[in-house]
Amino acid sequence: MRNRIPVLISAFVGIFMILKYFSTAATIKRVADELEQWGVVTLSFSIVLGVLNLIKINLKAVMERKKDWGYKLLLLVSMFTMMIAGGIKWYREETLAQSGDGSTTAIKNTLFDFMFDHVYFPLSATIFALLAFYVASAAFRAFRAKNIHATLLLVAAVIVMIGRVPVGGAIWSGFPWLQEWLMTWPNTAGQRAIQIGAAIGMIATGLRVIFGIEKPYLKG
């Protein structure tokens, strides 16, 4: 029973979503629309699950004074500060929205906005910017033309890197043309074939999941 109900749920939802694609019947549309809403709400709870799990792990580490517990305490303090700031912003905007006649206003000077603009934003952007350094050092270390295929990969990458930027046109006026041709024709051919192959796999996997042959939700 524990394993049968999820299989039935998966099949029911899958079949109605597919039927909605092909049918204009009002009943099917109503059921599928409601199932889509259920999917949206359930997936938002998955975000909540992730956050609660983070709290559980870090709170345990702080209470048991494990290694680096100070950093975990910092994490928890930051998290709760952001949550409380978000709650205050929500309350203020909700009060404004309800007190009006559908007029629309946005409040921009809350602690929540300050933390998003000046804490979350630079940290997120810079952590991703670190990748620039690693991609440069990876290119130097790993890009070796050991055989004809690796050489072809290297040549294609160099053409794209030089042709896509203004200096490519300054070195040789044909570089931008060559880069655009490479991306539009050979690259499209390779990408398209990969996409067609992936589509065949996705269709097969989708059918297997809906018919209950594959049950990924039963693992764990």
Partner 1 sequence: MTGVYSPFVEGLGVWLVCFFTLAVLTFLYRDNPLYKAVEHIYVGVAAGYYFYQAFRGTIYPNFVLHVSRGVHAISSGDATGWTMQWRWGAAILGILLLSRLVPRLSWLSRWPMALVVGAFAALNLTGFAKANFIDQIVGTMLPLTSYAGAPDSLPFWPGAKAAAPSVFNNLVLVTGVVCVLTYFFFSTPRTGLLGKMGSAGIWFVMITFGATYGSIVLARISLLIGRSTTLLDANLPRYGYPAYVCTVLVLATIVIWRLKFFRSDED
Partner 2 sequence: MSTETSNTTSRLEKWLSAFVALDRRWIFLALASVVVFFLIFPVTMPVTVSEQVRAMYEAIEALPAGARVHLSIDYGPGSEAELWPQHIAILRQLFEKDCKVICSSLWTDGPPMIEKGFAVVLSDLEREGKRKVRGVDYVNLGFKAGDRVAIAKIGSSFKETFPTDYQGNPTSKLPIMQGWDTYRDIDLLITIAVGDPGAVEYIQQAQSRYNVPMVAGVTAVISPQLYPYYQSRNLKGFLGGLAGAAEYEKLVGRPGYATRGMIIQSAVHLLIVGLVLAGNFAQFLLWYIQRKKGLRL
Residue 61 near which of partner 2, partner 1, none (CB within 5-8 Å, type-dependent): none
Residue 29 near which of partner 1, partner 2, none (CB within 5-8 Å, type-dependent): partner 2
In the bound state with partner 2, the residue whose beta carbon lies nearer, of 104 and 219, is: 104
206 contacts: CB under 8 Å, gap ≥ 6: 14
Exposure on the CB side of residue 111, measured as CA atoms within 13 A: 10
**Under 8 Å between Cβ of 185 and 165:** no
Q: Does 213 bind partner 1 (CB under 8 A)?
A: no
Which of 32, 37, 36, 33 minimizes the C-alpha distance to 15? 32
In the bound state with partner 2, the residue whose beta carbon lies nearer, of 1 and 41, is: 41
**Under 8 Å between Cβ of 168 and 162:** yes
Instruction: To the nearest 10°, report the CA torsion of 38, 43, 44, 45.
Output: 90
**Under 8 Å between Cβ of 15 and 212:** no
Shortest distance (Å) from residue 26 CB to partner 1:
13
Residue 97 near which of partner 1, partner 2, none (CB within 5-8 Å, type-dependent): partner 2
3-state DSSP assignment of residue 212 = coil
Q: Restricting to residues 33-92, which ones interact with partner 1 according to CB under 8 A? A: 34-54, 56, 68, 71-72, 74-83, 85-87, 90
Interface ranges with partner 2 (CB under 8 A): 17, 20-21, 29, 33, 36-37, 39-41, 43-44, 46-47, 90, 93-94, 96-98, 100, 102-106, 108, 113, 116-117, 120-122, 124-125, 127-129, 132-134, 136-137, 139-141, 143-145, 154, 158, 161-162, 164-170, 176, 180, 183-184, 187-188, 191-192, 195
